Amino acid sequence: MTLVSTFRSRTSRLWRVFSSAFLCALIAGATALPGWAQEAPSPTPRPLDKGLPPASPIVDQLLQRLSLEAKVGQIMVVAFSGDTPTSEVFGLIGSQRVGGVILFQDNVGRGSPERVRSMTDALQSRARAPQGGQGTDPGVPLLIAVDQEGGPVVRVGEAATLFPGAMALGASASESLVMRSASAVARELRSLGINVNLGPVVDVNSNPQNPVIGTRSFGADPAMVGRLASAAIRGQQRAGVLAIAKHWPGHGDADVDSHLSLPLLALNRSRLDTVESPPFRAAVEAGVAGIMTAHLDVPVLTAGEGANMPVSLSPKALAELRALVGEDRLIVSDDLEMGAIVQRFGTAGSALRAFSGGSDLLLFRRDAVQARRAHSEIVAAVRSGSIPMARLDASVRRVLRAKDAVGLLSDVPGDMDVPEAPEIVASDVAQQAVTLIQDGQVLPLRSDDHPRICVVQPRLREIAGQEIVVPVTGATLADAVRAIHPGIQVVEVGLDPPRPERLAASECARAAGLVIVGTYNAGMFASQPILLDALRLADVPIIVVALRLPYDFSVAGAIDAFVTGYSMRPASLQAVARTIFGVSGAAPTGRLPVPLGKAYPVGYQYPTLDAWLFPQP
């Protein structure tokens, strides 16, 4: 029996007694509190309310037993290709004793919950096995991580519910709804054997042209982002999944994709302190388990370290982050194979710099050769004394504390919150997000007045290059409209539709007498505004649905109505369609989480929703 299993057997009986008694008391108390399941926070502090919990005896016992090579492995998180664990990833777990695995869409995008759980169980089984000549390194379970943000960035597809993203939650402005959403996502992940969700995104989306954040952010107001991020952290961690807030110091004003090259943010200290930093401070106060760094050039944070120094590799910047998070949280690197850093430092070189600078956990995307090289270089640096053993031990202790906090090393109390069906929560998020910006007394539509409707929408296969996972259901705006109004004709166009497609859309609109057109990041594709010009020539009412960014409004021109749900996920498309037709009282109650000019500031809500008081049956 391993040290971990021995300790678990000693503690499990105590926790079962505690959990049973506490749950009975909780259920008894809940009957006297109307709405408790949806609104009230957990009645007792959770282990992660103040960051990582104190080290239990098993943490220090494990740390003492790990070899230098195993300690360095514990600060590494690796990945693999395909839907079955490879010999390479098993080798990294067995030989380098890596501390975690991060799963991507080619691992878990498709497949049943049982298949995903089988994968995570296989990875954990390999990690729990002792290693070394005589089993000298004890088996240590893995942190298994994903980016399950919702909206355009999800990894688990068919095995989990597809939620709208952060900007949809920002439009709801509801901490309660954010907490419910985060908790529902976390429960599904935990059931799949996943114990870390790399989120929430706490970047403030201050730049409408930002190529990587957009709807991944709650919005453009720092206070609102911090407030909702805190709710997400509490909901996620109370359901037993570690939260890692990202991307420090804030990626929201970047105009370059750090996957490709290094963005420059020439911001002064006052700007950082008032816009970018408040959500990260709020995340720390909410008890977040860790913060992920961004590959950004922010000279005010790296002064004296040379030009083009990424904050993610900067000892000066990482020291400032450590001062913010304290000793009880993880500092996690972003992917160390991104163009922003590898072009100059290489993956292994970036890993050595990130760790020596102050990061605790290093993320590798695919390259097992580089992961092994990084492992060797960090081992050599510790052995030579250029990185003190105490420095390594501090990070490994934090990693082990994180594992203990989610029950990998010793039992913890079960989740005490009353679970909700995730599909219902996703539907609530989607409906409360729907935001109406403009309406020329067209909405809600009455089906009898419009027996024929033309729906113009982008082809899903083109969105595949924009969304990290195309909705596995293949759901479209037309599908959602057809479910309510069967009399539709559909024209599919590209994201940059050529003239023949624009003409076909105009002819469809003219024949139908009304058109619903879905735009997708219209400001980034020159022909989408031209498509709207062609539809105006049909001289029919035009309803524009922004399928992702609300900034499409700025290029929409003269139209009859503009509505957005901030998402291509099925629940969002269905909510938008219900709102367009006023079904069952579905009204556009969302508020703008980002500004669309002076007339439409953050918090804007359509001034009168009287037309939705008499919904269609």
Query: Helix, strand or coil for residue 38?
Result: helix
Which residues, in sequence order, are CB contacts of 40 under 8 Å at separation 6+?
33
> Among 235, 194, 156, which Cα is nearest to 468's?
156
For the question of residue 259 being annotated catalytic, the response is yes
Question: For the chain, how are helix, strand and coil distributed in percent, rounded to 5?
Answer: 45, 10, 40
Q: What is the CA radius of gyration of the chain?
A: 25
Question: DSSP string of 80-135?
Answer: -SSSS--HHHHHIIIII--SEEE--HHHHSSS-HHHHHHHHHHHHHHHHS-BSTTS
CA distances from 2 to 58, 121, 140, 214, 532 (A): 12, 17, 9, 46, 66
Distance (Å, whole) CA 135 – CA 141: 15
In 406-530, the DSSP E strands lie at 435-439, 453-458, 488-493, 515-519
Which residue has tokens 């380098």? Answer: 96
* Phi, psi of 454, rounded to the nearest 5 degrees: -100, 130
CA dihedral 446, 447, 449, 452 (to 10 degrees): 140
Contact 405, 49 (CB under 8 A): no
What value, to the nearest 5°, has the Cα angle with vertex 238 and ends 237 and 242? Answer: 15
Phi, psi of 236 (to 5 degrees): -70, -45
Report CA torsion sign: 469, 471, 472, 474.
negative
* 333 CB-contact burial (10 Å; exposed 0-12 / middle 13-18 / buried 19+): buried
Instruction: Give the length of the chain.
Output: 617
Buried b (16+ CB within 10 A) or exposed e, 429-450: bbbbbbbbbbbeebbbbeeeeb
Rounded to whole angstroms, the Cα distance separating 373 from 571 reads: 44
Measured distance CA(554)–CA(592) in Å, rounded:
14
524 CB-near residues (< 8 Å, 6+ apart): none
Residue 9 φ then ψ, to 5°: -65, -30
Nearest to 565 by CA among 473, 428, 470, 453: 428
Query: One of 334, 335, 360, 552 is an active-site residue; which one?
Result: 334
Candidates 98, 89, 102, 101; CA nearest to 70 is 98
Sheet arrangement for strand 561-564: 435-439, 561-564, 542-546, 515-519, 453-458, 488-493
Look at phi and psi of residue 566 and say left if phi exceeds 0, alpha if psi is from -120 to 50, else beta: left
User: From the candidates 83, 106, 257, 259, which is the catalytic residue?
Assistant: 259
Residue 518 near residue 547 (C-beta atoms within 8 A): yes
247 is catalytic: no
Residues 6+ positions from 506 with CB-CB distance below 8 Å = 534, 535, 537, 538
Catalytic residues: 259, 334
